[in-house]
Structures are given as structure tokens and as C-alpha cells.
Amino acid sequence: MRKESKIQNNVAMANVQGYHQGGGYGEGYAFAGFKCNKYFRSDRAMKLNDNFERPDGFPLQGYGLEIETECSSISNQTVLAEVYDKIIFKLFPADLFKMQRDASLGGRTSAECITQVMTKAFIRNHYKDFKTMFNTYFPAFGISADSFHTSCGMHVNISVACFGDTTEQAHEAIRKLFYIVNKHYSIMLPLFYRDPSRTHWCGQMHYQNARYMNLNNQPNDHTKCMNLSHINAGRVEIRLVGGQKNYACFRNTMESIFHLVDRVKTLSWDDCNNLVKLFKGCNQYVFDRLTICGLDETTLEEIKQTVKTEELL
């Protein structure tokens, strides 16, 4: 008999994993809803029920992306939708993406590309497809997802169960992540490739009392760098992530997030203030990003001594 998970799994369809419904345009843009609910693992997808729950009862442990894009060469919404549906999204397994309008983006052919829930292994296994999307198809069709040249961003939703085996463990790790992102806000901006002049929708938050936060009662504020209001729906959202200019940028951002999610599960509260301990054992892709984060040479050198080599595309 399997051991029951202690992570709460009271998911509501309206709040699932961060996939909000539209930007108020009312135009039936593209394919606003997923064809079916799936959980994308390392080598295959698991079909979920109408509440995005696994049939085996275990909680989701994955990441959901909201990739904001703008298009300069296609002026017709239907044509852009066809490009995404028939060409770009064909790179990936069926039903991974949906696309919708986003009121925060400019232009008639802006679009938000939203994924279903993906494990870290699945994302890494499909880095080659993300590379083709970012480096080949996006430039070919005049699509940009770069926050330094457009108003785009890339919100990252993380399953609560990624942070621990019990609700108590997960909430403690999430509080540490909240503290780190806001305490080291000026470092997190370049780490997540966020233009520091474009933080209206991802501002710094008060973090001094993070250790004692009640995560079950957080406001839904889309102007802050993290949204913790969906804890009971099984996810947290990092809104600070900027638009990604190309594949290498995307990979290094995702690897930085993967590292932080793993690290906060074992890091002490005191060590959350220590950048060397925070980034100890990161891989070369995270370290590459750290070199533009304004760390002093001594700190960088200490972190460099612990860097682990991982060969990812």
C-alpha cells in the first residue's frame, strides 16, 4: 500500500498552476483553453482530471511557463495563431501549449504562450526544442520575447510539492525563496534577466518578516515580484522573470530557478543572507549568469570553486 502524500492538493480549475483565462479581449483569440489536462514528465504525459489532479493521487511536482511575446511582422491575429499552432508548437508534444491574448502586452498580435505543468526533467529533455523555438522560429516570424526591447516577461509557476515532502517543509522552503528573491532583489533582476527599468508588474516586496509569514492568506497582487495567493491551489508564481532574448538566456534563467528551488529546501535562514552558500554547487549555466549580477570578485571566486559541470544543450 502506497504512502499518502502530505502535500495538500485542493486544486480549483480557476486557479490551476497559473494558467489564467485571457486578457479581457473577448475575441476568441487562438486556442484559449487546453484540449485536455496533462502533466508532462521526462518522457511521456500523464492525463489529469478536470481539476488538474493526478489519477494516482500524488501532487504535481513541476513548472508552468507563461511566455509573453510580441510580433512585428504578422499583423493578423488568426495568421499568428496558425503559425504557433501549425508550426512552432509542433516542435513539442501535443497539448503542451495554449495561447491567449494578454492585456499587459502591446500590439494586436501580442500573445502569451502558456504551458501545462512540466517536470524539470521534461524541460531539460526538450531544451533542443526550446532552442529551435527561440533561435530559429521566433526570429523567422518576427516574434520577440525579450524584456529589454519589448514589454514581455516570462512568469514561472512552481508546484508547491517541488519544495518539500510535507506541507510544513514546502511552506518553510517557499518562505526562504520569498526572502531570498526580495532580500537580494538587485541580484535577482539580472539573474532572471529582468530589465530593471521594467518592474511595474514585479516590484520588490517587504521581506523582513518572511520567516513568520502565513502563506495561506496572501493577497493576489500582480504588481509584485512573487504571487503567493495560489498556495492552496498548489503553486507559487515568480513574476520577476523577464522576457528571454534567445535560447541560451532561457536555459540559464531556468537553470537558475531550478537551483534556487532545490537550494532553499536545505538552506538555513542565516545562510539565506550568504551568496556563496546560496549558490554553492550551482552549475556552469547559473554561474555564467552570476557573472553579470554585480557580485564582487571574491564572492564569485568562492562560488566558482563549487560549480558542478552539467552538459545541457
**CATH code where residue 34 lies:** 3.30.590
Do residues 84 and 111 touch, judged by C-beta distance below 8 A?
yes
Looking at residue 8, what is its pLDDT? 47
Give the mean model confidence (pLDDT) for residues 297-313: 97
Q: Specify burial of residue 206 (Cβ count, 10 A radius: 0-12, 13-18, 19+).
A: exposed
Q: Is residue 33 part of a domain?
A: yes
Q: Is residue 279 part of a domain?
A: no
Mean pLDDT of the chain: 89
Q: Is residue 294 part of a domain?
A: no
Give the confidence band of 77 by pLDDT, cuts at 50, 70, 90. confident
Q: Is residue 10 part of a domain?
A: yes
Q: Is residue 144 part of a domain?
A: yes
Q: How many Å apart are CA 141 and CA 86, to the nearest integer?
A: 13
Looking at residue 24, what is its pLDDT? 42
Give the mean model confidence (pLDDT) for residues 251-267: 98
As for how many domains the chain has, the answer is 1
Q: Is residue 277 part of a domain?
A: no
Do residues 101 and 112 touch, judged by C-beta distance below 8 A?
yes
Q: Is residue 120 part of a domain?
A: yes
Q: Specify burial of residue 189 (Cβ count, 10 A radius: 0-12, 13-18, 19+).
A: buried
Query: What is the domain extent for residue 140?
Result: 1-269
Q: Is residue 274 part of a domain?
A: no
- Supply the pTM of this predicted model: 0.92
Q: How many Å apart are CA 259 and CA 52, to the nearest integer?
A: 26
Interval 86-139: pLDDT, tens? 999 999 999 999 887 776 777 678 888 999 999 999 999 999 999 999 999 999
